[in-house]
Structure 1
Amino acid sequence: MTTAAQDRTFEGLVALVTGGASGIGLATVQRLAAAGARVVVLDRPTTDVPGAAMTLTADVTDDGAVVAAVTRAVDELGRLDVVVNNAGIGAQGTVADNDDAEWARVWDVNVVGIARVTRAALPHLRVSPSAAVVNVSSIAATAGLPQRALYSATKGAVLALTMAMAADHVREGIRVNAVCPGTADTPWVGRLLAAAGDPAAERAALEARQPHGRLVSAAEIAEAIAYLAAPANRSVVGTALAVDGGMQGLRLRPV
């Protein structure tokens, strides 16, 4: 049996993680680095990220900054094998609660940001023997959640984009998959809870809607991302892996 200390799944590979300075992204950086990857973080951090080989400042809405960051990463580390498109922002409200500007802003980060980063990475992925892209979607892509119209629309688009990308690039040797987390214990969710009128009650409600009775940890999602990106799993392509405590598929009777 391979222990965490012995796991060198990504030895010799270079991975780029967007939004890697916190939450799911940070957990992914640390998971891939622990398995031997040299990990490039593309985010807007103010300090170095633990576990990262490089930390590059870039906004995924700025195509020039994205291209420059990917180019620098490859110039300095010599290759690019794995891209984890994790950067994203949240949005609350019904379809009537956000104006056009907010729709455009969230869409630009959550959907077009993936296109920009992947587009910049493609020439380098095409020459990698272990090329993989993992997009972070959400349970909101497939389950109707209240007060999440805009966010759900973007994450549904991420899921559809993942399948289209997988079809386009599988014959180039580039595997594209998605992970669909349930409600995760991340800084963004923490801020939502802090802003609630009764944070404890709101947290209990979020935990209760997931059949296993708790929030999903960032480390659990990172583990799924590592599985989808691992070179050993070459037949896993065009897959959306749910990490949601059974929220999508299970219908438990009330306690």
Structure 2
Amino acid sequence: MTIKLGLMGFGNIGRKLYSESLKNNNIEISAISDIGDPEILEYLLKTEFENTRDVSLDSNYLISTNYRSRILSAFTPGEMTWDLFDVDFVVDATGKFDSPEHMDSHLNAGAKRVIISTLPSESIDRLVVFGINQDSINLEDRKISAGSSTLNALAHLLNSLLPFGIESINMTTIHSYTSDQSLQDTVGVDFRCSRSASENIIPNNSEAEKWIIKLFPELTDKINCNALNVPVQKGSMLDLSIAF
């Protein structure tokens, strides 16, 4: 049985998902939504992954040996017409549309289920960390989060240490700068966002604490999480102090 995906956002995560789908004959990406120029999207895809070198662009279609993907341009989830492509899942890989209302917009546009590649802003049907609680998914779950890189790494570490009796946790994630940061000093939404990402270590907020407690309620009032964005292009590291 082929699973049809709709993909919103063709950045690092979206392109990686496309590359991985070519290795699985049971997955087809039917439609891709991104505001970028299709020729540039094709170029970035083919230069990043070896198994995409034979992918070609024909008008508004990305064509591989496995399937054809229609490229569409939509700024917000509600602008997409997923029902025209009969997709089983929409993967929102933008990292921006993280609210239940955004996910509802995908569902109202014809998606059967929505998976976001970041932490949700509010409670949704299911937060899934593979290897921890994927068996908890049920047929009624339509709005799903795959968590963040920090949450996935932290959850697996804590899951293995919980049997030893944790008294307190302090975690700092040291993360590469992200696409919403400016490389030069410029006026941003706040003082921190106004500083150059390529020259500064910038404190940031971490939502991991809230969602770790939902995964492991026994850690309520025992965990504190912080974040730093550092001037490297890729990578993330956790600094973890635990008292038993």
TM-score normalized by the length of structure 1 = 0.45
Per residue, is there more strand in 1 or in 2?
2
Name which structure has the greater RCO, CA cutoff 8 Å, separation 6+.
Answer: 1
Q: Which has the higher helix share?
A: 1
TM-score for both structures, normalised by structure 2: 0.47
